Structure 1
Amino acid sequence: MAEAAMAKSIEIPDCCYPTEPVLVRPSSSKPRHTLYLSNLDDQKFLRFSIKYLYVYKRSVGVEALTTSLSKVLVEYHPLAGRLRPVGEDGEKFQVDCNGEGALLAEAYVDLTAEEFLQGCGSPNRSWRKLLYRVEAQSFLDVPPLVVQVTHLSCGGMILCTAINHCLSDAIGTAQFLHAWALLTAKPDANLPVNAFHDRCILKPRVPPEIAFSHPEFSSPPAQDSHSGDLFQFLLSQPLVPVSLTFTPSQILHLKKQSVPSIKCTSFEVLASHVWRAWIKSLDPPASLRIKLLFSMNVRGRLKPELPGGYYGNGFVLACAETSVEELVTSNAHHGIKLVQEAKKSVTGEYVRSMIDLLEERRVKPDLSSSLVISSWTKLGLEELDFGGGRPLHMGPLASEIYCVFLPVTGDLHAFTMIMSVPHEIADRFQQYCRRGLDG
């Protein structure tokens, strides 16, 4: 089955760039200022760009996209600025909102939308050609927003966007993309949501109050000689992408396998199911402590709540933890309950404690024996319409070692999972993922 998934990937031909990329500046300038980034924004593990890819049946003119981007960058002006280090050690970042501009590249490729769709199940390295590579000495020198519009030979287009994760999470990214699409399709429209950029509401307390243990950051017990081996094994092996779609009926069937029965969401049951399949396929020692880390929106959990339109990182990693033996020998109930308890533990006070912890120590999530899941569902990205219709496909530009849940075009209740796993376990992982899906 892994071979079938890999066979669905398509090699992208070289792109032709008729002109040099341009810097798109806000259409009206605001006074130059610096933007404080919260401790949730400039965590070290977020120093990368969220890269989305959309395939459209019809192209939208680059002139129209550029004009609307210039207009929307007035509201989302940090994306036209540049990250800068601050402080003596340079460990913390801020945004210099200087209007320097987002980078937009236009390209052409000898490929049809249908050809891409036939092989879009698994991204490969050649897909990176669909996003302009910025030659920069460091992460700080790359514009926070990079866009490539690639015209297809059939008259369609592929739109790729890279948005710096330090500036926003998936919710904020979707908020910006919907605003840009709206102003492209309807230039005179009013934006339904105003962006709220001030992150001072998430400043650490003085003095700090670290009231929780925060297992998402804590390392495994030193006495466990196998701790760290699992993730190191993943890093050392050739990885292949695995992509599976779970239909609503399959998700319902998974829920019914919980004994005793438990009320749960589709995310909760799928997160538990994929975590279990991943661990079973890796077959680590039974005594090893393992974690599931998953992104969780905390905008409504803080007191006061984050303002509407908050354009920053308003998520934390929730942490479920157990032993290999407990996870693989129990039925679905055990894993689902762990996910639910992890979600419940993320209170407003927990988030405040995490912010204070990050102020004292620049800790990173414990990835030694962890699976990380990020959900891109319920963001409406499968409906992103720039005036030429909704996308035929949306997904990540690359398959990563962490797991992503994606929406399925045309089915609000289905999920597509994509992640990269070691080549030698790809078959087993898919088999375990497919177990229990049908009656």
Structure 2
Amino acid sequence: MTEILESGFVVPISETPRHSLWLSNLDVVAARGHTPLVYFYGPNRSPDFFSTGVVKSALAKALVPFYPLAGRLGLDPTGRVEINCSGEGVLFVAARSESTLDEFKEFVPSKEAREMFVPSVDSADPPCVLLMIQVTHLKGGGAVLGFAIHHAAVDGRITFHFIKTWCAIARGASPLPHPPLLDRTLFRARSPPAVRVLNSEYTLHPFSSSSSSSSSSSSSQTAAAATLKLSSRQLALLKTRFGHHFTTFQAIVAHAWRCTCLARGLSPDQETKLCMAIDVRNRVNPPLPPHYLGNAVMRVPVSTTVADLVSDPVRFGAERIRSVTGGVGDEYVRSVIDYLELVDTTKLSSRSGLPSTKLCVVSWLGMPVDDADFGWGLPVFMSRAQLYGNGFLYLIQSLGKDGGIYVVVSLEQESMEKFKKLFYEPFLRSAI
């Protein structure tokens, strides 16, 4: 049980600009909802451990350079979403729980975890709050930071950059991380639009289900979530199995994709699709800085038959992933942005289940997910608080120095146990 001790809004500590912030096409087609995260912290004997005053004071200062997050999602005169930089503030909740930190050692994202640790609102449509935060003190020491930010406002990389800045301010660190780059017109469509590359993730509703029974939607089926850990030794074995010329991302995703198809019992002649959220900051010309405030992520699809994917050599999937992602450059990105300028983007921002032949992957590898020390120590674990629907997979770097990776996945209830068995099977055979 969680007891709410305080709930209110934190506003920027000083006056910030008041204006409407234009959103790029990549912002508009981002999933229309808040991304819920949780950070778990071990006990600390400091008398001001996760003091509400310290955390809120630092937050008010961080919201000055990140002032759009203190605004509200709105609509321009044409009905297109934008951010109203109104300075109304972010929702902040302080809470206390009778649960202990040990109860979450085997954390799995769930609706219950989201409700316990992360604030929510009735709707993610305009007008709505963009950022919601909750600090929950646990019984016996320890704390949980719950964090939910609207996907139309930012992507994962800038989310973690904001948290890093907020924490640095709380610690009194100097110098602070780079302030965010607010100029979203860097992703404005060309005039006239020139679509030279088509991306099927945007030409059709990305989360729509096929009318055929073989590709029926899994959104109505009971979803099961799991958090699977790969140690550094297991990662090394996986890289050896696929070949060291493949990246960690390519090896893990190819392995998980194969396991998903087998666990779901897909027919060999079915087409299976992998959708990858690719950060394009370094794929455009000129490159965008990592602290660009907005969505610089693009959904990139890879398709093949189940038979080809699960056949030997196992490298087939990794080769397909490398081939497709290698072709994502400036023209690819600009073509997608230009295409979105020509279509009704309101049909491309839903959040729902995927067809049973599809897997959607988001990687937070290489992002500062662990740089969240407010002055009372680094978190011991972080994850999404909840996954929405079946067929989603997140890659998260293990906190600490063990070099491991967490694979957070949601699948149909009847497929999950087989998936976990298949996922770990290569490592069991090698006695690791």
Same fold (TM over 0.5): yes
Question: What is the match of residue 238 of structure 2?
Answer: 254
Residue 269 of structure 2, aligned match among 287, 291, 313 = 287
Aligned-residue offset at 1:225: 7.8
Q: Which amino acid aligns with 2:376?
A: G
The reply to whether residue 425 of structure 1 matches residue 400 of structure 2 is no
Question: What is the match of residue 105 of structure 1?
Answer: 93
Question: What is the match of residue 74 of structure 1?
Answer: 64
Aligned-residue offset at 1:218: 4.5
Give the SS at the match of 1:140: coil
Q: Is the contact between residue 257 and residue 331 of structure 1 (CA under 8 Å) also seen in structure 2?
A: no
Q: Is the contact between residue 320 and residue 341 of structure 1 (CA under 8 Å) also seen in structure 2?
A: no
State the number of aligned residues.
413
Q: Which amino acid aligns with 2:50?
A: V
Q: Is the contact between residue 35 and residue 198 of structure 1 (CA under 8 Å) also seen in structure 2?
A: no
Q: Is the contact between residue 133 and residue 145 of structure 2 (CA under 8 Å) also seen in structure 1?
A: yes
Question: What is the match of residue 277 of structure 1?
Answer: 259
Question: What is the match of residue 385 of structure 2?
Answer: 397
Q: Which amino acid aligns with 1:264?
A: F
Residue 31 of structure 1, aligned match among 17, 36, 41 = 17
For residues 285-330 of structure 1, give each alpha carbon's deviation from its aligned partner in whole angstroms, at most 9, with x where no partner exists. Answer: 2222211111111111111211452111111122211111111123
Query: Quick one: distance in 1 between partners of 2:110 and 2:122?
Result: 23
Give the SS at the match of 2:308: helix
Q: Percent identity?
A: 28
Please show how residues 306-345 of structure 1 align to structure 2 within 5 Å: 306-345=288-327
Query: Quick one: distance in 1 between partners of 2:380 and 2:186?
Result: 39
Q: Which amino acid aligns with 2:404?
A: A
Please show how residues 19-418 of structure 1 align to structure 2 within 5 Å: 19=6, 21-43=7-29, 45-57=30-42, 58=44, 59-88=49-78, 90=79, 92-117=80-105, 119-120=106-107, 122-131=108-117, 133-136=119-122, 139-186=125-172, 189-218=174-203, 227=212, 229-230=214-215, 232=217, 234-258=218-242, 261=243, 263-361=245-343, 362=345, 364=348, 367-368=354-355, 369-400=357-388, 401=390, 402-411=392-401, 413-418=403-408
When structure 1 is superposed on structure 2, of 71-80 and 365-374 the one drifting more is 365-374
Q: Is the contact between residue 38 and residue 200 of structure 1 (CA under 8 Å) also seen in structure 2?
A: yes
Q: Which amino acid aligns with 2:363?
A: S
Q: Which amino acid aligns with 2:394?
A: V
Query: Quick one: distance in 1 between partners of 2:138 and 2:409?
Result: 27
For residues 83-124 of structure 1, give each alpha carbon's deviation from its aligned partner in whole angstroms, at most 9, with x where no partner exists. Answer: 111243x2x21111010001100111112222322x42x133
The runs of at least 4 aligned residues of structure 1 exceeding 6 Å deviation read none
Query: Quick one: distance in 1 between partners of 2:287 and 2:176?
Result: 22
Q: Is the contact between residue 109 and residue 152 of structure 1 (CA under 8 Å) also seen in structure 2?
A: yes
For residues 170-198 of structure 1, give each alpha carbon's deviation from its aligned partner in whole angstroms, at most 9, with x where no partner exists. Answer: 10001000000111111x63322121011
TM-score (structure 2 length as normaliser): 0.90
Query: Quick one: distance in 2 between partners of 1:138 and 1:298?
Result: 25
Structure 1 residues 256 and 433, CA gap change in structure 2 (3 angstroms): same
Aligned-residue offset at 1:262: 5.8
Q: Is the contact between residue 12 and residue 67 of structure 2 (CA under 8 Å) also seen in structure 1?
A: yes
Aligned-residue offset at 1:212: 1.1
TM-score (structure 1 length as normaliser): 0.89
Name structure 1 gaps, 5 residues minimum. 1-13
Aligned-residue offset at 1:82: 0.6
Give the SS at the match of 2:274: strand
The reply to whether residue 15 of structure 1 matches residue 8 of structure 2 is no
Query: Quick one: distance in 2 between partners of 1:219 and 1:202?
Result: 21
For residues 28-79 of structure 1, give each alpha carbon's deviation from its aligned partner in whole angstroms, at most 9, with x where no partner exists. Answer: 1123111111001111x42111211011123310100100000000010010
Name structure 2 gaps, 5 residues minimum. none
Q: Which amino acid aligns with 2:385?
A: L
Query: Quick one: distance in 2 between partners of 1:288 and 1:264?
Result: 26
Aligned-residue offset at 1:125: 2.4
Give the SS at the match of 2:276: strand
